[in-house]
Amino acid sequence: MKTGAIVFILGRLVSITYLPLVLTTLEIPEKLQKAVGRVIVNATACSVTCGLGYKEETDCEVGPDGVRRNCTFQRLECVTNWICGMLHFTIVHGKKFELNCLSSDILEKGQEAFRFTWRLARGIISTNDELFRPFRANSPFIGFKPAYEYNAGTYRCDVQLLKNLKLVKRLYFGLRVLPPKLVNLNFQQSLTEDQKLIDKGWEVNLDNGSKPHLPVWQRKVTSALGIGIVAGVVGGVLVSVAVFRVLGGTDGSGDRSHL
């Protein structure tokens, strides 16, 4: 068994050794030696990560000598991924709003070259396609003038090329419509009393419920005024004591002279 294995291995080595010699003896047909083919020599990535985009390619004629001839440049449509995710919107009941399924690449080609189909999952935010029902809208826009709570839900926009009905884009819009009395979006009115004081510059410790403190600049002014008042009072007292002592000293000396 060992001798047979060695003979087999040696036979393989001999075949590999003489293979280049055999190939060099083969003659390549004259037609193949002069054959010229078109080869893509340069290509860019798709201009968008989802939906319809464009890529640029350069192809040339390349012969046996490897020289590029008769190169042409072309711009081609491309779709890397046709599912473009979901956009979320939250609006207040009674406000005007619009959903827009257009993109720069669609505008460049012209929206008349596409077919827009809308579907709606009313009242929920979801991408489960089984929950969607047809929604009557053939344009790339859906306008709410105004929006009502009934309009809340998920809207799905499908974009197809009219020339072959190829699906090139699917976009979801999650729309929430808040009742006007449920949430007050006025920031100032939603602040607590402590927050209003902080907004005006007061220092408030919200943890221990202590009373608000004056801001730093007001504390400095108050301290300066207090020091001025104290200095004025102390100075006045010292001046009064000095005058009293002078007057008292005069009267005392007079009394002693009489004695």
pLDDT tens-digit readout, 232-249: 544 544 444 443 454 454
Cα gap 86→88, rounded to integer Å = 7
pLDDT, averaged across the chain: 73
Q: Are residues 156 and 213 in the same domain?
A: no
Give me the domain span that covers residue 202: 186-231
Confirm whether 242 is domain-assigned.
no
Among the residue ranges 33-42, 55-64, 100-109, 230-239, the one predicted with the least confidence is: 230-239
Q: Are residues 174 and 94 in the same domain?
A: yes
| pLDDT level of residue 66 (50, 70, 90 thresholds) | confident
**Of 178, 197, 212, which residue is a domain's last?**
178
Q: Which residue has the tokens 């197809």?
A: 160
Q: Are residues 52 and 101 in the same domain?
A: no
Cα gap 107→182, rounded to integer Å = 39
Confirm whether 32 is domain-assigned.
no
Confirm whether 245 is domain-assigned.
no
DSSP 142: E
**Of 55, 81, 107, which residue is a domain's last?**
81
Q: Are residues 143 and 64 in the same domain?
A: no
Name the 3-class secondary structure at 107: helix
- Pairing between β-strand 153-161 and β-strand 167-178 as defined by DSSP bridges: antiparallel
Q: Are residues 65 and 151 in the same domain?
A: no
Tokens of 103: 């993109």
Among the residue ranges 67-71, 113-117, 162-166, the one predicted with the least confidence is: 67-71
- Return the CATH number at 121: 2.60.40.10
Q: Are residues 95 and 147 in the same domain?
A: yes
Q: Are residues 115 and 87 in the same domain?
A: yes
Model pLDDT for residues 102-145, shown as the tens digit of each residue? 888 788 888 889 999 999 999 999 999 999 999 988 889 999 98
Q: Are residues 159 and 204 in the same domain?
A: no
Q: Are residues 119 and 41 in the same domain?
A: no
**Of 81, 103, 134, which residue is a domain's last?**
81
With b for 16 or more beta-carbon neighbours within 10 A and e for fewer, the 101-114 pattern comes to bebebbeeeeeeeb
Residue type at 6?
Answer: I
| Count of positions (residues) in the chain | 259
Q: Are residues 109 and 161 in the same domain?
A: yes
- Cα 49 to Cα 54, 55, 81, 83, 170, distances in angstroms: 11, 12, 6, 10, 13
pTM here is 0.55
Confirm whether 23 is domain-assigned.
no
Residue type at 100?
Answer: N
Cβ proximity of 87 and 174 under 8 Å: yes
**Number of domains present in the structure of the chain:** 3
Cβ proximity of 64 and 33 under 8 Å: yes
